[in-house]
Chains A and B, each alone.
Chain A
Amino acid sequence: MMDNLRDLYQEVIFDHNRNPRNFHVMKNADRKMEGFNPLCGDRLTLYLKIENGVIQDASFQGSGCAISTASVSLMTDIIKGQTLEQAEALFEAFHKITTGNDDEANLEGLGKLAVLAGVKEYPSRVKCATLPWHTLDAALKNQGNSVTTE
């Protein structure tokens, strides 16, 4: 594969695209939020189980490109066990690394999510990576029941 494309399509991305984690409907979810990218048709439904201000469980359903599928798969893994404040902080940090507004963004604190930092070199694909996070943000703020990246 073309070397520089490897920065975006790392093995972790392929892995999560082939075998998305937490890919199921959650029947007893406390929050359910739909995310839609009208540009490319990426569509997902995010489910959250929240107790005492902590995300106990997260899952999703939907279809999208490899970048958005890997992003939502990674996100649902990483936010489990986090407080709502921690999840919001992660959203802010993730937004910064993918939009390239902060060169010195703390990649270490993002763990596996750092693999998506390469997307900032592909302006047309940034929304693929950030759609799940915007959906999460809307779910945490309890805004309506759907969010789009447009």
Chain B
Amino acid sequence: MNQLVTPIGKHRFESIYNIGKIRADFPILSQRIRTKPLVYLDNAASAQKPTVVIDAIRHNYECDYSNIHRGVHSLSERSTAAYEDAREKVRAFINAASEKEIVFLRGTTEAINLVAQTFGRANIKEGDEILITTMEHHSNIVPWQMLCEQTGATLKVAPINRDGELILEGFEKLLSHRTKLVSVAHMSNALGTINPVEKIIELAHSRDIPVMLDGAQAIPHMKVDVAALDCDFYAFSGHKLYGPSGIGVLYAKAELLDAMPPYQGGGDMIRQVSFEKTEYNEIPFKFEAGTPNIAGAIALGAGIDYLEEIGIQNIADHENQLLQYATEQAKKVNGLTLIGTAKQKGAILSFVLEKIHPHDIGTFLDHMGIAVRAGHHCAMPVMDFFGVPATTRASFGMYNTREEVNSLIDGVQEVIEVFG
């Protein structure tokens, strides 16, 4: 695997950011795919897991596992403590005011659906509007369409430009007394665009409109501070943050969560039940009905410890250097067009090749050991905007190297030659 590792000392930053050690922390990366070293560039779909995350799952099931919040026995006490400890780690990671504002769910999708069906059903009525943008993932479109069908509200879509950037004036024009919620991606999964969320929140809050941020893509690539942002809701998934799948987080301001009706009914979300009347539990437990992904939450906490140790800003700097290098190299490829050229961009390189379909590119790159995503990236409206059925997307993570970018570019050149 040595050829994949940037020589230490060649670059000052690389010597601080020990990429060789980081790669060794991810067991899956050392394998070969069809005899070639794996080059994993599908991090925006899901990231790989470091040993500490895998060990945390194993440790919970081997040593501490039991159901939480109810047992009086030692195992339940240990699992409960570890689960709540993970909640505190998430709180600190995003700088929320209280761990009561951290709801553990399955992922970003469930978090957005929860807000639509609780906050939305309670506060949004016929004639009201919900404002999103053209670059949203389907999971930040469909839950609002469902809410609109249920309530008679209208979904409004803010425009983007050809670079894939939000047109702020167009966004502002769509804000009105009818707008009851703004929900936007912090970073676009299909384009890599980082939205001007501070400005979006300022514009919305000046009209008393709450703002939800879909943080699924942003959270692995930058420091997220919900207090500084002053967003009302922030959703993200564990699996894109080098944690397990099936665990995710909804952050919401405590006063909003307190006022929201529960999402699902069941165990753990109640204080007292009789057939006449049920009293709901306090937040965040009111929104965590049923036995949650206990080991998943604990392992997410372990993953956050790992990221904090390396430093999320160091990771961001590394990825930004990779993106800059990859963008420069990609621009030299004849017939390649980048889709998503925003000035503020995260580590995603989405592109199309003249006359070669992304699925053909994906199959050929896989034969070179390179994992990319080919398709519409669950963002069909943004594909329509750019007039392409699909793109090929390389997305970088903390463990990717310049040599892997070279492999990608060489691979793309080879595909172009073969298709001639």
Contact B418 A128 (CB under 8 A): no
B375, closest chain A residue (CB): A40
Contact B419 A5 (CB under 8 A): no
B364 at the interface (CB under 8 A from A): yes
Cα A25 to Cα B375 in complex, Å, equals: 27
A81 at the interface (CB under 8 A from B): no
Cα A39 to Cα B357 in complex, Å, equals: 13
Binary CB contact string for chain B from 350 to 394 against chain A (1 if under 8 A, 0 otherwise): 000000111110011001100000111000000100000110000
Cα A43 to Cα B387 in complex, Å, equals: 13
Cα A5 to Cα B369 in complex, Å, equals: 13
Q: Which of B360, B376, B414 contacts A66 (CB 8 A)?
A: B360
B362, closest chain A residue (CB): A124
Contact A40 B419 (CB under 8 A): no
Cα A8 to Cα B376 in complex, Å, equals: 23
A13, closest chain B residue (CB): B360
Cα A4 to Cα B367 in complex, Å, equals: 9
B391, closest chain A residue (CB): A41
The range of chain B's interface size is: 10 to 19
Cα A84 to Cα B367 in complex, Å, equals: 39
Interface residues of A in 1-52 (CB under 8 A from B): 1-2, 4-5, 8-9, 14, 17, 39-43
Cα A70 to Cα B374 in complex, Å, equals: 19
B367 / chain A contacts, CB cutoff of 8 Å = 2, 4-5
Known A-B contacts A41-B375, A125-B363; A66 and B357 likewise in contact (beta carbons under 8 Å): yes
A64 / chain B contacts, CB cutoff of 8 Å = 357, 389
Please give the distance in Å from A97's CB to the nearest CB on chain B: 19
Contact A63 B418 (CB under 8 A): no
Cα A49 to Cα B358 in complex, Å, equals: 33
Q: Which of B34, B357, B376, B383 contacts A65 (CB 8 A)?
A: B357
Q: Which of A5, A14, A40, A66 contacts B389 (CB 8 A)?
A: A40
A3, closest chain B residue (CB): B367
Interface residues of B in 394-420 (CB under 8 A from A): 414, 418-419
Cα A128 to Cα B363 in complex, Å, equals: 12
A43 / chain B contacts, CB cutoff of 8 Å = 389
B419 / chain A contacts, CB cutoff of 8 Å = 14, 17, 66
Cα A3 to Cα B226 in complex, Å, equals: 52
Cα A127 to Cα B375 in complex, Å, equals: 14
Please give the distance in Å from B408's CB to the nearest CB on chain A: 16
Binary CB contact string for chain A from 43 to 87 against chain B (1 if under 8 A, 0 otherwise): 100000000000000000001111100000000000000000000
Q: Which of B360, B368, B383, B389 contacts A63 (CB 8 A)?
A: B389
Cα A66 to Cα B420 in complex, Å, equals: 13
Contact B363 A5 (CB under 8 A): yes
Cα A100 to Cα B350 in complex, Å, equals: 33
10 cross-chain pairs, A with B, having the tightest CB-CB distances, nearest first: A41-B389, A65-B357, A65-B359, A41-B390, A2-B367, A40-B359, A66-B360, A65-B360, A5-B367, A1-B418
By a beta-carbon cutoff of 8 Å, the part of chain B in contact with chain A is 34, 356-360, 363-364, 367-368, 374-376, 383, 389-390, 414, 418-419
What are some 29 contacts across the A-B interface (CB < 8 A)?
A1-B414, A5-B364, A5-B367, A9-B360, A14-B419, A40-B357, A40-B358, A40-B374, A40-B376, A40-B389, A40-B390, A41-B375, A41-B376, A41-B383, A41-B389, A41-B390, A42-B357, A42-B389, A43-B389, A64-B357, A65-B357, A65-B360, A66-B356, A66-B357, A66-B419, A67-B359, A67-B360, A122-B363, A125-B363
